[in-house]
A and B are shown apart, each in its own frame.
Chain A
Amino acid sequence: MTTSTVKTPAKSAYWAGVRDGAPFILMAVPFATLFGVIATDAGLTLAQAMGFTVLVIAGAAQFAALQLMVENASIAFVLLAALAVNLRMAMYSAALVPYLGSAPLWQRACISYLNFDQTYITSVARYEARPEMTVADRVAYFLGVATPITPFWFGMTFVGIVAGQAIPDAWALDFIMPIMFLAMVAPMVKSLAHVAAAAVSVSVGLLLVGMPAGTGLLIAAGSAMLAGALVEVWIERRAR
């Protein structure tokens, strides 16, 4: 990360966000296109597929809902499973409170709408690294990160719907999402406590993989957060 030359602080924070969000265009393009293609294949109209993307903006949940709809699952089950996939965002919401809690309500509402994996993790990494940021700077940075990603997410869904050509399996696009998530989290592993949290997350997540969509992950994430916090306390005690 470069140190930005300070004009208006909020403005430079916004542009720093744009810069840090830009790499995720690489991920948004294939993913959104794929969603458009699959949604059309599944029988959604253009308006429905776009409505999905604009109202929900949460890739993993959109794909999960679509999959269940193709299988003609009951409406209640589609909703429960897809919302369960999104429950992790309640944790993101809580984790943003210490940084953004005193921003005006309408700004918190905008940020909530745009609070997905990429914007959340990129922003929190910045907030942690720079505790001196003002709340206005933090809001500007968050919106900056969302700026390059969101139009591509919407636009490429549209392209996928219109182009409608299935993307060959040989491109292995299924694996771009795991790579992106790992790439986001690896640089954040910076202490023994983080290693412990990640290890617990992986092992409990694998153990509970058979549980209904999203619920195993919630338990894994909860135990991992506890593991991280406990190891942190333990290290602090030993250091004294």
Chain B
Amino acid sequence: MSYSTAEIWTIIAIMGIGTFLIRFSFLGLIGDRPMPAFVLRLLRYTPVAVLPGMVAPLVLWPGATDGQFDPVRVLAAVATVLIGIWTRNVLWAILGGAATLYAAMGITALL
């Protein structure tokens, strides 16, 4: 890393302010003015629209394996989703997914 101290603090400060403004944007400016019905309908799908697309590349091409397809990680991801849909509980899905990940890693290490 070859930035000066001032440059590093500039990056941190602008990232902090920029991130806050992104988060504050709609909630801060629109307030309780009514939004069109179709916009509300769109917004209902925000979580399921953002997270799967963000995670899918990490599942298929993990950084830790230099982008190589890794059956262990895919298995853990599938287990997490299935347990999440089945139990409707975030904690069980995290625990089940992590347990699958480490169990599968252990088994492949033994083979």
Contact = CB atoms under 8 A, between A and B. Distances in A.
Contacts of A58: 19
Contacts of A206: 53, 56-57, 60
Nearest to B84: A186
Given A51-B9, A124-B47, A174-B63, A202 B77 contact: no
A178 B45 contact: no
Among A186, A187, A205, A233, max chain B CB count under 10 A is at A186
Contact of A94 (B19, B43, B51): B43
Interface string B53-67: 111111111111000
Contacts of A48: 8-9, 12
Contacts, number: 284
Contact of B38 (A105, A189, A205, A229): A229
Interface of A: 23, 26-27, 42-44, 48, 51-52, 55-58, 60-61, 65, 69-70, 72, 75, 78-79, 82-83, 86-98, 100-102, 105, 108-109, 111-113, 115, 117, 120-122, 124, 128, 169-170, 172, 174-189, 193-194, 197-198, 200-202, 204-206, 209, 216-217, 220-222, 224-229, 232-233
